[in-house]
Amino acid sequence: MALGEFDLIARYFQRPGGQAVLGIGDDCALVAPTPGMQLAISTDMLVEGRHFLSTVAPQWLGHKALAVNLSDLAACGARPLAFTLSLALPRVDEAFLEGFSRGLFALADAHAIELVGGDTTAGPLNISITVLGEVPPGRALLRSGARPGDALWVSGTLGDARLALECFRGSVALPGEQFQQVRRAMEQPQPRVALGQALQGVATAAADVSDGLLGDLGHILARSRVGAVLHADALPRSAVLAQQPVAVQQQCTLAGGDDYELVFIAPADQAAAVQAAGRAAGVAVTCVGRIQAEPGLRVVDAQGAPVAHGLASFDHFKT
């Protein structure tokens, strides 16, 4: 890219003002975290075909690239502070940059988080974001705190993003309005940042559901050295997904991925506090199981019968 083209890119990403001591334009940005707070840091890289489809509108790609990173802060209960963006672009495309930056900054503004560092280069499309947040010492939600007897919760609904992906793949057909609804779930996930912070001191463990509930819950169980029983029929799902065959519902809710909801653990006597956190954050929370001392994850239906869920063998859509 020529120098003038980099100026063009800068135009879409440099904004006046902000909370940072020093924003974009020097060798480093300077940020003053609240003294005594711990920093929470996470990074995610998005590549076309793997993390998003070529059909996504630039606006929603900008939104999602930041959303998946904020979701990691949410899972730790951290308050977002700032983020950096590295962007490789095959060519300078003003329509793309306008939409991408618009979606990115709309979500950034909604969470009062500032872009403090950036790098742009010519290359195959690649979006890498690093987010910084802060959390009081000892209050971060880790994956390692679940204890036998604790209750297992999820936020929002699960599975719509995967249902949308299967529509794009042609393995499921939905009427137009239903398709638009699940497509929004896939392209415009809402990171549960407020819920994560509200769960500080309530939840004993948390993760965000990015790779699918079974996998992400599995990380909590492994790090906490516990097991769990999970009630598949209790998993919250949209009215659209609830009209699909049971096998599709189970695939999408248990192993769908791209949900960006929180799966979290709380002491059994904290149900009222969890519900209050959900109300404060404006998102539904649903109890879907219980932590057990016995290792392993037991997925059961409403009658208590086991639901097969081998991560490899269970993939309904795999060809």
Q: Is the dihedral of CA 162, 168, 173, 177 positive or negative?
A: positive
Query: Does 40 sit near a copy of itself (CB under 8 A)?
Result: yes
The backbone torsions φ and ψ at residue 16, rounded to the nearest 5 degrees and listed phi first, read -70, 160
Burial (CB < 10 A; 0-12, 13-18, 19+), residue 161, is buried
Query: Does 133 sit near a copy of itself (CB under 8 A)?
Result: yes
Burial (CB < 10 A; 0-12, 13-18, 19+), residue 289, is buried
Query: Does 295 sit near a copy of itself (CB under 8 A)?
Result: no
Q: Token digits for 43?
A: 């990074």
Kindly indicate which of the ranges 31-39, 171-179, 236-244, 281-289 contains the residues binding a copy of itself, using the contact rule CB under 8 A. Answer: 31-39
Our CB check for a copy of itself shows the closer of 132 and 248 to be 132
Query: Does 132 sit near a copy of itself (CB under 8 A)?
Result: yes
Name residues contacting a copy of itself, limited to 81-120 (CB under 8 A): 82, 84-88, 116-120
Kindly indicate which of the ranges 71-79, 97-105, 186-194, 245-253 contains the residues binding a copy of itself, using the contact rule CB under 8 A. Answer: 71-79
Query: Does 22 sit near a copy of itself (CB under 8 A)?
Result: yes
Q: How far apart are CA 6 and CA 157, in angstroms?
A: 41
Contacts of 8 (CB under 8 A, 6+ apart): 92, 94, 97
Size (the chain), residues: 319
Q: How far apart are CA 259 and CA 220, in angstroms?
A: 17
Angle at 288 between CA 232 and CA 218, to 5 degrees: 80
Query: Does 29 sit near a copy of itself (CB under 8 A)?
Result: yes
Site for a copy of itself (CB under 8 A): how many residues?
59
Query: Does 256 sit near a copy of itself (CB under 8 A)?
Result: no
Least distance from a copy of itself to the Cβ atom of residue 197, Å: 13
Query: Does 223 sit near a copy of itself (CB under 8 A)?
Result: yes
Q: Which residues bind a copy of itself (CB under 8 A)?
A: 21-22, 25-33, 35-36, 38-45, 47, 50-51, 72-73, 75-76, 78, 82, 84-88, 116-124, 126, 128, 130, 132-133, 135, 137, 140, 142-144, 206-208, 223
